[in-house]
């Protein structure tokens, strides 16, 4: 067992799960990553009878991953997530680098064709969404945002004069600029007016300001309570921050929006599996269908590699749906009515002892006795 030289400050927590949280926060990972790594570490320890991971090795890790794949039938993405959590536990928390860590194979990610709605289906879906959720759906489809990118929009990120919206801290901690559709300018102004009313209510009640990333709250103490940093889509009620324990107003809860989309899908009668991300898929596909350059679509979506954007070319109406099938070019042959004096052909059953002479008599027209005798008397290979 080879221990790496310490490259990070020593951990202050004593419990293992608290050490995972401490290291994740030191490396500035997201809250969801923290919850995921803690979950898989706890499940790994319980699987091996509460033994400490330091006493476990390659065989125990592979047995746990095999259990997930064979008995729990988890998806490849879940399998990879569990492996990433265990590698983080050993390398970053326990500070152990073992040779077998690089030998454990990761399951191959399956290439899935995204679910895309037609323009009429998008209109029906948005029409069935409630008033408070419809604007979020319109932003997802009109700007191609991910759900959390939409919910985390701040007042300062919406520029009505330049007709753009700045997406901060997107996937991979990247910023990008997207268009502000003209159809959404007035609804967004009304939503911002509603958000300002909640902001004024919080200021009057003396509540803490909104959450700020990194150490901006220490660098700018007045920023959390300022109007510019307030949410575009604030939650209707205050809640407790899971990390700091401060009671403040957060943005809309993502699961609430997801359930609203599921109800709208049922009311609209859509027979596809639709989520909030489906609107982003539809945004990209409809842009490419309209002739927008794929590099431009890549920038709007925030993809690092254009190959990620290329997957939307498989569902364009000009690709598979626009290709004529050879069955459409078959000539139309009229179907003639059956003749009344047609002799029905008897059916043969494999393994039955059908008299071949009776079959020949049924298929061959009546003939003189001498000819029929000559035919039936000949040796026939069966």
Q: Are 43 and 35 in contact (CB under 8 A)?
A: no
- Angle 229-230-236 from CA coordinates, rounded to 5°: 165
Q: In terms of Cα–Cα distance, which of 243, 235, 169, 168 is closest to 207?
A: 235
* Active-site annotation, residues: 146, 171, 277, 280, 303, 312
Which helix or strand (DSSP H or E) is residue 240 part of?
A: strand 234-240
Which helix or strand (DSSP H or E) is residue 251 part of?
A: strand 247-251
Read off the tokens for 90. Answer: 């050993």
Give the separation between CA 152 and CA 147, rounded to whole angstroms. 9
Give the separation between CA 361 and CA 373, rounded to whole angstroms. 11
Give the separation between CA 273 and CA 116, rounded to whole angstroms. 10
3-class SS of residue 239: strand
What is the β-pairing status of strands 2-3 and 234-240? unpaired
Read off the tokens for 320. Answer: 């598979």
Q: Are 184 and 174 in contact (CB under 8 A)?
A: no
Give the separation between CA 222 and CA 256, rounded to whole angstroms. 30
Cα atoms in the 13 Å half-sphere on the side-chain side of 318: 9
Q: In terms of Cα–Cα distance, which of 14, 6, 78, 89 is closest to 48?
A: 89
List 24's β-bridge partners, or say none.
Answer: none
Helices (H) and strands (E) in the chain, counts: 15, 7
Read off the tokens for 271. Answer: 């027979």
């Amino acid at each position: 067992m080879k221990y790496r030289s310490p490259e990070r400050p020593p951990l202050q927590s004593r419990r293992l799960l608290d050490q995972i949280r401490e290291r994740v926060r030191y490396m500035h990972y997201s809250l969801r990553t923290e919850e995921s790594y803690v979950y898989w570490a706890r499940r790994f320890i319980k699987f091996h009878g509460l033994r400490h991971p330091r006493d476990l090795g390659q065989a125990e890790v592979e047995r746990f991953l095999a259990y997930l794949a064979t008995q729990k039938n988890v998806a490849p993405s879940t399998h990879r997530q569990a492996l990433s959590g265990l590698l983080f536990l050993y390398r970053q928390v326990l500070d152990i680098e073992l040779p077998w860590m690089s030998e454990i194979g990761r399951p191959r990610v399956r290439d899935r064709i995204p679910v895309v709605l037609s323009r009429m289906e998008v209109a029906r879906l948005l029409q069935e969404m409630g008033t408070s959720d419809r604007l979020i759906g319109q932003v997802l489809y009109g700007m191609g945002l991910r759900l959390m990118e939409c919910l985390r929009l701040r007042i300062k990120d919406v520029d009505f004069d330049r007709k753009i919206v700045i997406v901060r801290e997107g996937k991979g901690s990247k910023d990008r600029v997207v268009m502000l559709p003209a159809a959404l300018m007035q609804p967004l102004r009304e939503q911002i007016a509603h958000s300002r009313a909640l902001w004024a209510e919080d200021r009057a009640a003396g509540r803490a300001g909104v959450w700020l990333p990194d150490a901006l709250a220490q660098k700018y103490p007045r920023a959390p309570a300022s109007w510019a940093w307030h949410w575009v889509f604030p939650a209707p009620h205050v809640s407790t921050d899971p990390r700091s324990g401060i009671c403040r107003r957060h943005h809309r809860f993502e699961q609430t929006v997801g359930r609203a989309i599921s109800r709208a899908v049922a009311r609209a009668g859509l027979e596809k599996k639709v989520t909030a991300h489906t609107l982003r898929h539809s945004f990209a596909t409809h842009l490419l269908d309209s002739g927008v350059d794929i590099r431009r679509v890549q920038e709007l979506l925030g993809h690092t590699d254009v190959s990620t954007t290329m997957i939307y070319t498989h569902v364009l109406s000009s690709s598979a749906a626009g290709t004529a099938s050879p069955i459409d070019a078959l000539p139309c042959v009229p179907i003639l009515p059956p003749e009344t004096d047609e002799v029905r052909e008897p059916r043969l059953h494999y393994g039955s002892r059908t008299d071949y002479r009776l079959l020949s008599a049924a298929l061959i027209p009546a003939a003189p006795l001498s000819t029929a005798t000559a035919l039936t008397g000949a040796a026939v290979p069966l």
